[in-house]
Amino acid sequence: MKKIKRQFTIGEKIKVISGKHKGKIGKVKKILSKQNSLIVENINFKTKHIKPKQNDEKGQIIKIEASIHSSNTMKYKVKDK
């Protein structure tokens, strides 16, 4: 398997440059190096439906942050004036 060079670090600000969330800015929460993707705070939510395990429990709908491919992101810098 080909080794992938890391461009980002955890806690670094990035900007999404393509896809559904284009233009949004967030911090890197987790790096998935084998998939060459990132999990970014408050971007790319997916809903997960959880069934009740026991009779007295209720089902839930949870929003989970999904990964974004690293080629769809770039480092974000604030311009100094």
pLDDT tens for residues 21-49? Answer: 999 999 999 999 888 999 999 999 999 99
- Tell me 78's DSSP state: P
Domain encompassing residue 68: 13-75
Q: In the prediction, which pLDDT does 28 show? A: 94
- Report the distance separating Cα 69 and Cα 54, nearest Å: 37
The CA-based angle 72-76-77, given to 5 degrees, is: 160
Domain for residue 66, yes or no?
yes
**17: Cβ contacts below 8 Å, ≥ 6 apart:** 72, 73, 74
Report the number of distinct structural domains present in the chain.
1
Q: Residue 49 belongs to a domain with what CATH number? A: 2.30.30.30
Domain for residue 71, yes or no?
yes
Half-sphere exposure in the Cβ direction for 74 (13 Å, CA)? 8
